[in-house]
Structure 1
C-alpha cells in the first residue's frame, strides 16, 4: 500500500514501515529504544515487531495495564518514572505498540517527558489504525471524562501492519468498524456503501488505507480542529457520554468504543433528521445497518440524566454549550450545532425502539 504523508511524518505500511524504522534507528544511533506495551500487546504483538527489527540496539520494554480505565495521569506517572529509572534522556525514542490507549497515552508521555522525546506509533487494533494513531492528538482521560488532558504532537512515523489484527477478537475488530462508518457517513459515501451492500465482501485492508487517507486529508486542512476536523466528532458527543457513563457505573458492563459511537451515530442521525431534514430513508438505513453490526447498547431511560450531564464536559464545548456535528445528507455535515435536552432524550428513545 502507498505511503500517506501527513503533517510532518509518514504513515507507512507493512514491510516499507519496518525498513524505514530500521533505517531510522540506525541513523539516529540510539543507545536504548523504549517500547510501551500492555500485557496483551506484550504477549501477542511485541514478538512480531521484534522479528522485524534488525537494527543493533538495546530495547527496554515498559508494560502498563490494558484498558480505558488505565488511560490516566497515574499511569503516565508510572511510565515517566520507568523512563527515568531506565536512563532515558532527551535523545531517546519511545515506540508505542498497541491500541488507542497506548498510542494516545504513549504520545502524551513522550511529548511531555523532558519537554519532548521522539516517538513512533505502531497501532495494533483496527480502531487505532484508522483513528487514534493518526492526526497528532495525544492525551489521557480525567476520571471518566475522555481525552480531557493532552496536546497535539506528531510521531516520527506511524507503521500500519494488518497482521496485528489477527491477534484481536471479533468484538475488537467490530469496534474499529464504527470509525470507518463515521468516515463513510461524513466524508465518503463509497465507504458507507460497503457496509450497506451485504452482497459484497468487505475489503478491510482497503478500508483501512482509505480511512487513513480521509483522516489525513482532514487533518492537513485543519490540524487544530478549528473547523473541518470537527466532522470527525460525528457520533462522539452522545457516544462518548454513554461510554463514560457505562465506564463509571458499577452495575454496567464497560462498552467498547465502537459500541458507544454506534449508538452516537444513530442518535445524532435522528437529531439531524429533526433539525436539518436529513432524509428519513437514510436514517432508517443507518439504524438498521449499524444495529445489525453492533447490536443494541442496553441504555435505560434512567441513564439519560447522567449521560446528558456528562455531555456538559465534552471537550468540544464552548462557553458551556454542548456542540454537535450533524448531517444534512451523507457526506455533508453541519458543525457547532446546538441541541435541546428534550431532543437528545428523544433521540435516545428512537435508538431504543
Structure 2
C-alpha cells in the first residue's frame, strides 16, 4: 500500500498559488467549492481568489466560526449544500480557514460520496503548523475533541503567512503553542529558538512556520496512522484537550483557544515528566516560566480538576482502558504510551497553580 503521507505536499507563497492553478488545469474538477467560516469569508476569501487565474466559477459555502460549531450538525449542512449545488465525485473542495475549517472540511470531503478531493488553505498560525498537515480530519462529539474523523491527506496544502495579518494577537499566541510543542519534542536548539518568539514578528515567522511544518511532516511520513512516533505530536494534549473540552461546555467558563489549553497541558505534562521520567527540574522551571509569561495561568479548583481528569478517558490515544500520556525524558526525548497515576496529575495541577 502506498504511503498516504506522500500526498498533501506543502507549498509556500507565490509557488503555492501556481500549484493550485496547475492542479485545476490538469485535473479539471467538475465543480470547485470553497469552504469558509464567517470570518475567513470576510477577511481571507478575496485574498485567496485574487491569487488564482481561474476562480470565477467557484461556489462558496460558509459555516459559523468557532470550535463549538465543529460538529456533525455543521457537517450535515455542508453535505446538503454540496448535494444541492450539484457536487459529484469529481468535484474539489478547497478549505480556506483555521483548524475548524480545515478539520471539518477535510472530513466532509473525505466522506461525501465516499470521498472527493480537497485542498487546505490554512489562514491561522495554528492551522498552518498543525491542523493542515498530516491528513487528520474530523469533528467533535459534544464537548469531546476530535472523536469522529478519518486520516485522509489533502491534494496539497498552501501556506501563505500574509493571511496572518488578519489574526488577533491571542490567535497568534494560540498557534505559537504548537510551535513550542515542536521545540520540546524536537531539540534543545529549536526550543531555544522558538521560545523567544513571544512578540511574534511576522517577518520572523515564515522560516519558523516552514521549520515546524517540516518537523511535523517528517514524523507523519514515518508514521501516517499514529501507531508509534506520531503520538509524540500529542505532547501536552492529553490534559490540554480535557481542559479545552471542560471549558467548551461549562457555561460559567469562557471558551479557551486550543493553544491556550495545550500550553497549560504542556506545563502539566512537563511536571509529570519530572516526577516519572527524571526530566531536569531546572528545565521544568524554565519551561513553565516561559509558558506562564506568554499565556498566563488558567485557574481551576479541585472539583474542576476531577471533571477534567474524568474527560481524559475519551482521549483518542487511549488503549485498553488506559490513559496514555506523552512525557519527556529531556527536551527532544519524548516517550509515548506512559501511564500516570491520578495522584501525580493532582500534584501537577498543584504545581501549575503555585508555580
TM-score using structure 1 length? 0.96
Q: Aligned equivalents of 1:310 and 1:201: distance in 2?
A: 33
Q: What residue in structure 2 maps to residue 301 of structure 1?
A: 302
Say whether the 8 Å CA contact 1:120–1:155 is kept in structure 2.
Answer: yes
1:6 positional shift: 4.9
Q: Which residues in structure 2 correspond to 1:151-230 (within 5 Å)?
A: 151-197=150-196, 203-230=204-231
1:201 positional shift: 8.0
1:26 positional shift: 1.7
Q: Aligned equivalents of 1:345 and 1:45: distance in 2?
A: 43
Q: What residue in structure 2 maps to residue 60 of structure 1?
A: 59
Q: Aligned equivalents of 1:47 and 1:220: distance in 2?
A: 33
Q: What residue in structure 2 maps to residue 243 of structure 1?
A: 244
Say whether the 8 Å CA contact 2:8–2:135 is kept in structure 1.
Answer: no
Q: What residue in structure 2 maps to residue 131 of structure 1?
A: 130
Q: Which residues in structure 2 correspond to 1:46-57 (within 5 Å)?
A: 46-55=45-54, 57=56
Say whether the 8 Å CA contact 1:32–1:57 is kept in structure 2.
Answer: no
Q: What residue in structure 2 maps to residue 283 of structure 1?
A: 284
Say whether the 8 Å CA contact 1:183–1:211 is kept in structure 2.
Answer: yes
Q: Aligned equivalents of 1:309 and 1:67: distance in 2?
A: 24
Deviations 1:39-98 (A, max 9, x none): 000000001011111126511000000111000111000000000000000000000000
1:201–1:78 distance in 2 versus 1, CA, 3 Å: closer
Q: Match of 2:334, SS?
A: strand
Q: Aligned equivalents of 2:49 and 2:333: distance in 1?
A: 44
Q: Match of 1:224, SS?
A: coil
Q: Match of 1:251, SS?
A: coil
Say whether the 8 Å CA contact 1:194–1:200 is kept in structure 2.
Answer: no
Q: Match of 1:319, SS?
A: coil
Q: Aligned equivalents of 2:307 and 2:263: distance in 1?
A: 19
Deviations 1:140-171 (A, max 9, x none): 01111100000110111000000000000000
Q: What residue in structure 1 maps to residue 103 of structure 2?
A: 104
Q: Aligned equivalents of 1:89 and 1:231: distance in 2?
A: 38
Say whether the 8 Å CA contact 1:238–1:311 is kept in structure 2.
Answer: yes
Q: Match of 1:137, SS?
A: coil
Say whether the 8 Å CA contact 1:33–1:57 is kept in structure 2.
Answer: no
Q: Which moved more, 1:48-57 or 1:263-272?
A: 48-57
Q: Match of 1:36, SS?
A: strand
Q: Match of 1:325, SS?
A: strand
1:188 positional shift: 2.8
Q: Aligned equivalents of 1:104 and 1:198: distance in 2?
A: 26
Q: Which residues in structure 2 correspond to 1:315-326 (within 5 Å)?
A: 315-326=316-327
1:297 positional shift: 1.3
Q: Match of 1:11, SS?
A: strand
Structure 1: where are the runs of 5+ without partners? Answer: none
Q: Match of 1:94, SS?
A: strand
Q: Match of 2:314, SS?
A: coil
1:24 positional shift: 1.1
Say whether the 8 Å CA contact 2:33–2:59 is kept in structure 1.
Answer: yes
Q: What residue in structure 1 maps to residue 262 of structure 2?
A: 261
Q: Match of 2:336, SS?
A: strand
Q: Aligned equivalents of 1:214 and 1:235: distance in 2?
A: 17
Q: Which moved more, 1:118-127 or 1:28-37?
A: 28-37
Q: Aligned equivalents of 1:17 and 1:268: distance in 2?
A: 37
TM-score using structure 2 length? 0.96
